[in-house]
Structure 1
Amino acid sequence: MPETSRSTRSTSEEDNLIKKVVEKVLSLQLFVNSLVEKLKLEFQEEINIQSVEKLKLEFQEEINIQSGKIKHLEEKLGECITKTKYIQETQTYKNEIKHLQKKLEESDKEVKNAQNALEQYTRRNSLRIFGIPENKNENTSDIMFCTEKLNLDVPTTAIDYCHRLFAKEGQQKPIIVKFISRYTKKLVYSKEGQQKPIIVKFISRYTKKLVYSKKKMLKGSKVVIKEDLTRANQNLLKEASKRFGDRKAWSFEGKIYVKSGDRIKTVKSISDLEID
């Protein structure tokens, strides 16, 4: 009996010991499993962190690249804006220069017109006489032109100066006469024909007008009386005569006139010859 009891007790102790070992093993297994799970989580987190860091680095690198491109584009845009502004400013300057050039041309034209008008004004008492034969040692002021041809009594005291003008070889020199009176000049001018011309300046404008007004009496003769026009007005009258004919283009008191239909127009420049 005692042995049986001892044997039973020994078996029970073994069972308890086995049970404890099993419990320890199970507990250890649970710990290991728990540790494994924990390690797995930590490892996963580490992997995720590394991935995130890698992505962050890649993303930052891409940002840097794009930032560089954006900066380059901004520089290009700045250059384009500068060029556009320069072009706009240049165009503005060009427009201003064109405007100033136009104003300068207009001013120059006005000055030339004023100079021409002033020069013509100084000739208001003068006439040019063409077709009077030239004699050696002649005194042009004593030529009995007005008395013989125009039936006018114009004394030498009415003449400021009178002399031949230069003429090309083989041509007769015209005579230029400046009357004391503009009226006398006009009276003579009303009768006109070509040789070495004479220019006459009358003392009186009245005398000049008087002579000028008789120029029609010279019709059929070789003698012609013309106003003492400036070169610009001579060219203008010449062009007007080409376009409208000699009978429809003339000068009076230093001004040029043309007739188109029933209309008479004062001509101051070539552009005025364009009749609407």
Structure 2
Amino acid sequence: MESINRTINDLSNLFSTRMAEFEKELQKSSGTAAVTTSGLAAEFTTFRTLIVQALQALQQQVGVLSRSLDNLEMRGRRKILLLHGVAEEQDEETAQVVTQIIKKNLKLDLSVSGIKRCHRMGRSATHKPRPILLKLHDMAFRDQIWFSKTKLKGSGITISEFLTRARHNLFMAARDRFGVTRCWTTEGTVIVLDSKGTRHRVTSFIDLDKIKQQPKTSSDRAEQVSGQPEPGVVHPVAVGRVAVAATKTKRTVAKK
């Protein structure tokens, strides 16, 4: 914030100086001769260039500030996980529901006392259950749950990180471009696996545009999940079917 204030002050002083110079030149011209069109055009071009440079500088400063705020907000969400696909019942004890799921499916001993906050997100809907926000006291136990989430496969329940809006939009764009199986998050950072198997830490759409894109596989288009693959685990690509041509045998009829 201090750097932005400094930039604004510098630009304000620069504008004031330049405007004073323009006004001084105009006063000299009005006292001696008429101002030429070419002179005005040159002054306008100079001033326009100055404005564009100033706006670019401000845009860069705002971008730095936005990323800093996003990083700060994501740090506050490190102990939070989202559970999707958990059946919703009326007057349920959400913390009890989550502890039972963790114990039964992940084989981890989670007690209600280890949960700092637990509740459904958003307004109730009839067509699908709302996700559950789970905030834990212990970061290490949060990581145990996160790295055990593959055990939920086939249960209809998935776990994802509680991303900020900016990172969520970036993550969804990455999945749309490169496929579900090649994108995941770890500690709030978006990871993309390119066609050569190289991992890329993506923090902006500029980083995303630099990664070489490959066509989506049939498994990417078919798989619709709300969680992310386990970091470091590459899901196998569906093998194409091999068509086997059936040959017809000719039946010969013996001549009499």
Q: TM-score, normalised by structure 2?
A: 0.65
What is the identity, as a one-letter code, of the residue corresponding to 1:269? Answer: S
- Superposed, 1:13-24 pairs within 5 Å as none
Distance, in Å, in 2 between the alignment partners of 1:270 and 1:198 is 29
* 1:168 CA drift (Å): 6.3
Residue 57 of structure 2 aligns with which residue? 103
Tell me if the contact between 1:257 and 1:267 (Cα under 8 Å) persists in the aligned partners.
Answer: yes
Distance, in Å, in 2 between the alignment partners of 1:132 and 1:90 is 63
Q: Is 1:219 matched with 2:164?
A: no
Compare relative contact order (CA 8 Å, sep 6+) and give the higher one, 1 or 2: 2
Root-mean-square deviation (Å):
2.0
Residue 208 of structure 2 aligns with which residue? 273
Q: 1:90 aligns with which of 39, 44, 60?
A: 44
Tell me if the contact between 1:171 and 1:196 (Cα under 8 Å) persists in the aligned partners.
Answer: no
Residue 172 of structure 2 aligns with which residue? 238
Q: Is 1:136 matched with 2:136?
A: no
Higher Rg of the two aligned structures: 1
Residue 200 of structure 1 aligns with which residue? 134
3-state secondary structure, aligned to 1:169: coil
Structure with the higher fraction of residues in helix conformation: 1
- Superposed, 1:56-71 pairs within 5 Å as none
Residue 157 of structure 1 aligns with which residue? 113
What is the identity, as a one-letter code, of the residue corresponding to 1:164? Answer: R
What is the identity, as a one-letter code, of the residue corresponding to 1:221? Answer: S
* 1:254 CA drift (Å): 0.5
Query: How many pairs were matched up?
Result: 178
Residue 14 of structure 1 aligns with which residue? none
* 1:96 CA drift (Å): 0.9
Which string of whole-angstrom CA distances, capped at 9 and with x for unpartnered residues, describes residues 38-58 of structure 1?
xxxxxxxxxxxxxxxxxxxxx
* 1:167 CA drift (Å): 4.5
Distance, in Å, in 2 between the alignment partners of 1:148 and 1:224 is 14
Among all aligned residue pairs of Structure 1 and Structure 2, give the percentage whose two residues are the same amino acid. 28
Residue 199 of structure 2 aligns with which residue? 264
- Detail structure 1 runs of 4+ shifted over 2 Å in the superposition: 82-89, 167-172
Gaps of 5+ in 2: 1-29, 213-256
Distance, in Å, in 1 between the alignment partners of 2:159 and 2:205 is 24
